[in-house]
Amino acid sequence: MVNQKKTRVIEKGRLTELLDKLAQDYHLIAPVQANDVSFRRVESGSEVTLNYINSVLSPKNAFFPQTETLFRFFRDDNRGFQIEPSVEGDREQVIFGIRPCDARSLRLMDKVFNGQYQDSYYLNKRKKTTLVGLACFEPDETCFCPTFGIDPASGQDVDILFSDIGDRYLVETFTEKGATLLGKFAQFFGEPRGDEEQLRKARKAGLGKMKKLDVSAIADKMAPLYGGDYWDSIGLKCLGCGICTYLCPTCHCFDIGDVNLDEGGERFRCWDSCMFPEFTLMASGENPRPNRKTRIQQRFFHKLKYFYDRNGELACVGCGRCVRYCPVNIDISQIIKDIASGKAGND
């Protein structure tokens, strides 16, 4: 029986080689520098960058792709239909470099896709993916994961955690899956030397000043704010684009469409956003969320109340992406503060 909590180290110089080997044996997804950093499939270690706080798009794409073929259909000789399930994404994956906030978001997504209804597309990928996390020692001002009980330097939600402690990475295994993966590449890893905990402690020094907001009973505090004026100015400011929802690691709304051609076609699912006006538009023309105020209100109620009411956890992991990239600087951490302090009720 493999000791799951076995600690190892890897010299920094050997990481690229390890990634090369991983890329050969698995579908390896790692951070890549494009215009900004994103998680993409890599075929060699040299494509990987570790010079990032977090990626623009969260790695949820690896489990819940923006566009995913569900099945193909075509006419057969008897003028009937054949359906061919898609095998897209059916492979063993390793995600290298996932941050603890994004790893936590997968647990939240599990509540949706592995709850009352089992989503085979998501679950298949989830089962076949090993998460190799990268501890976060230098977050930026928009990060606030401690608010949600996430320790940016811990491997609570990953299979293996890499921590950069200076000249080497501390490598900790947390699950059977992680141990199995590590076992396959054992030649890259060495025994810890004894000073790793000390070095890690030093690295964690900067994490103390991270924003840790008060979210106690926030779901209850939100209830009286429904329909209130607080959401007016936020709704006015909001552009109604999909940036916050598409970048958010826990957002999971999707639409389904068909591509229909004479000889057949395919059914796909794709991300959708509650910020788009047609999201709740009905065939009659009626729209229960007819303006940006109602839609932006819905977004925050979903993250901080409805999801909590249904699943017992808040649907935000404090990754800060929506804050960083919202073109008009709508800031969920500010909104949480306003709700906690009561300012939102007084506006």
Partner 1 sequence: MKATSQEVQDSVKKLFEDRRISHFVGYEAGSDSLRVTPCFLKSGQAVSRLVWNPLCANNLAKYLLDLRQADGTVGILVKGCDSRSIVELLKENQIERDKVFIVGVPCNGIVDKEKLLTVLGISPGDVVAVEDDGDAFLVTTKEDKRRVGKEQVLRGECLVCRYPTPVIYDVLLGEAIPRLPWVRDDYSLVRELEEVSVQERARYWNKELSQCIRCYACRNICPVCNCPECIFDKKAPRWLSKANDISENLVYHLIRAFHVAGKCVDCGECERACPMGIPLRRLNKKVEKDILELFGYTAGIDVKQQPPLTKYQVGDLDEFL
Partner 2 sequence: MPNIKEVQTEFKPKILAFCCNWCAYAGADLAGVSRFQMPTNVRVIRVMCSGRVPPELVIRALANGLDGVMILGCHPGDCHYSEGNYLTRRRAHILKRLLSYIGIEPERFQLRWVSAAEGAKFSAVVNEATEKITALGPNKWGDKK
Instruction: Kindly list the residues in this chain that would bind partner 1 in the complex (CB under 8 A).
Output: 34-36, 38, 56-57, 66-67, 140-142, 233, 236-237, 239-243, 246-247, 255, 257, 259, 268, 270-273, 276-278, 323, 325, 327-331, 333-334
Residue 23 CB contacts under 8 Å (≥ 6 apart), including other chains:
42, 43, 44, 45
Residue 303 in tokens: 């993250």
- Under the binding rule (CB under 8 A), the answer on residue 261 touching partner 2 is yes
Query: Which one of partner 1, partner 2, none is in contact with 307 (Cβ closer than 5 to 8 A by kind)?
Result: none
Query: Which one of partner 2, partner 1, none is in contact with 233 (Cβ closer than 5 to 8 A by kind)?
Result: partner 1
Q: How long, in residues, is the chain?
A: 347
Q: State the sign of the Cα–Cα–Cα–Cα dihedral 276, 280, 284, 285.
A: negative
73 φ/ψ angles, rounded to the nearest 5 degrees = -135, 150
- Under the binding rule (CB under 8 A), the answer on residue 259 touching partner 2 is yes
Q: In the complex, what is the shortest distance from the CB of residue 87 to partner 2, in angstroms, rounded to a whole number?
A: 17
Query: Which one of partner 1, partner 2, none is in contact with 265 (Cβ closer than 5 to 8 A by kind)?
Result: partner 2
Q: Could you give the CA distance from residue 168 to residue 15 in angstroms, rounded to a whole number?
A: 9
The bridge status of strand 129-134 relative to strand 93-98 is parallel
244 beta partners: none
Q: Could you give the CA distance from residue 99 to residue 164 in angstroms, rounded to a whole number?
A: 13
Q: Which residue has the tokens 């209100």?
A: 297
Nearer to partner 2 (CB atom), residue 141 or residue 258? 258
- Under the binding rule (CB under 8 A), the answer on residue 266 touching partner 2 is yes
Select from 167-175, 220-228, 257-265, 285-293 the region that touches partner 2 (CB under 8 A).
257-265
Query: Which one of partner 1, partner 2, none is in contact with 325 (Cβ closer than 5 to 8 A by kind)?
Result: partner 1
Q: Coil, helix or strand for 6?
A: coil
With CB under 8 A as the contact rule, the residue among 265, 267, 289, 337 that binds partner 2 is 265
Q: Single out the residue of 75, 64, 47, 51 nearest to residue 102, CA to CA.
A: 64
Query: Which one of partner 1, partner 2, none is in contact with 6 (Cβ closer than 5 to 8 A by kind)?
Result: none
Residue 22 in tokens: 């991983």
Query: Mask 134-173, x = binds partner 2 (CB under 8 A)?
Result: ----------------------------------------
- Residues near partner 2 (CB under 8 A) are 259, 261, 265-266
